[in-house]
């Protein structure tokens, strides 16, 4: 179970707010190329134009979409398709706020995303669909420990860490 988040901080006066349409996947951000986007709060709404940029979720790493996991009986399952599906089901058409924390080396915005006050990055980790990406922050280590202990999601199987899988370790 996720803990309640502290009250949201007051949004600075110079923060711009952008609107975003529901995307096919969740990992899209609407402030691309817009002055002040580094400090943007992004809200999804149904009638906004489609976004043109992608974000990376802060301090977590999900299994790659083509990645497979190995169950205890020796069978493989396509675990890589589950994170995006689970997140899409979780958010549905409800508004989501993404608080930009950084920009990565590929120019993508890095953000913590929330829905109704719930940290979606933490939700993915505690549900077992992503791991804490300690290289970029230790924010979600306790959620990873909880998911691992409960054998949720990918933790119910053997898998290669996403960063190793991307480097060719299969």
99 counts as catalytic: no
Alpha helices in 92-154 (DSSP H): 120-126, 141-150
Separation of alpha carbons 161 and 60, rounded Å: 11
Q: How many other C-beta atoms lie within 10 A of the C-beta of residue 102?
A: 13
Across the strands, what pairs with 55? 109
Helix then strand then coil, in percent of the chain rounded to 5, is 25, 25, 50
Q: Which of 56, 68, 97, 144 is labelled catalytic?
A: 56
108 counts as catalytic: yes
CB 29 within 8 A of CB 98: yes
Across the strands, what pairs with 69? 77
64 counts as catalytic: yes
Instruction: Label residue 48 exposed, middle or buried (CB < 10 Å: 0-12, 13-18, 19+).
Output: middle
Cite the active site residues. Answer: 56, 64, 108
């Amino acid at each position: 179970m996720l803990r309640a988040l502290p009250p949201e901080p007051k949004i600075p006066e110079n923060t711009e707010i952008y609107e975003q349409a529901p995307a096919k996947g969740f990992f899209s951000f609407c402030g691309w190329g817009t002055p002040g986007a580094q400090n943007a709060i992004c809200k999804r709404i149904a009638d906004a134009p489609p976004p043109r940029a992608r974000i990376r979720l802060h301090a977590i790493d999900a299994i790659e979409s083509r990645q497979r996991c190995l169950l205890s009986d020796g069978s493989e399952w396509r675990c890589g398709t589950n994170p995006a599906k689970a997140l899409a089901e979780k958010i549905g058409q409800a508004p989501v706020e993404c608080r930009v924390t950084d920009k990565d080396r590929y120019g993508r915005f890095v953000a913590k995303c929330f829905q109704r006050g719930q940290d979606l990055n933490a939700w993915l980790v505690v549900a077992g669909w992503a791991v804490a990406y300690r290289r970029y922050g230790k924010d979600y280590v306790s959620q990873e420990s909880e998911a691992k202990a409960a054998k949720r999601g990918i933790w119910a199987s053997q898998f290669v860490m996403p960063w190793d899988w991307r480097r060719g370790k299969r």
